Amino acid sequence: MPIVSWKPEYSVGINIIDAQHKKLIETVNMLSDAIEKQEAKSVLSEVLNRLIAYVTFHFDLEERYMLEFVYLGYSEHKEAHKYCTDKVLGFMKKFEAGEEMLPVEMLDFLVDWLHGHMLEMDHKYSAYFQEHGLK
């Protein structure tokens, strides 16, 4: 059962970003499933690496649009992305060092962070990006 599901209120009205948000949710759910099934450390590590790669890819896209469109909230948004990335990388480092409970802590963090970030911060740029031609 998914730990987080896509909700219409998460939509920023921009197809590429909504699709990436859905992919992030799907990857968080993959992590949840791997934890629930008590998968081997190698499987968890693979899912965590996939999550980190996709988070980085997604954040880079949003930030490129912000720079291209001269979005005034860029610095604040970039800092929120950095916080999330640093936190996830810290979780990964501790997990690789053998702290087995970290995927659960990481999962809790990600679910809370994604929910708040999509509903609050990402909605701030939605209309601005649409005004610049993103649909």
For residue 27, pLDDT over 70 is answered with yes
A 10 A CB-CB count for 29 gives: 17
pLDDT at 74: 97
Q: State how far Cα 16 lies from the chain centre.
A: 14
For residue 124, pLDDT over 90 is answered with yes
pLDDT at 97: 87
pLDDT at 25: 95
pLDDT at 1: 74
pLDDT at 31: 87
List all residues 6 or more positions away from 59 whose beta carbon is below 8 Å from its beta carbon: 81, 84, 85
Domain coordinates of the chain in residue numbers? 14-131
For residue 100, pLDDT over 80 is answered with no
Confidence of residue 17 (pLDDT cuts 50, 70, 90): very high
For residue 121, pLDDT over 90 is answered with yes
Q: Please state the φ and ψ torsions of residue 8, each to the nearest 5 degrees.
A: -55, -30
Question: What share of the chain has pLDDT > 70, as a percent?
Answer: 97
Domain 14-131 grouped into CATH 1.20.120.50: yes
Q: Are the C-beta atoms of residues 18 and 41 closer than 8 Å to each other? A: no
**CB-facing half-sphere around the CA of 80: CA atoms within 13 A:** 17
For the segment 27-36, the average pLDDT, to the nearest whole number, is: 89
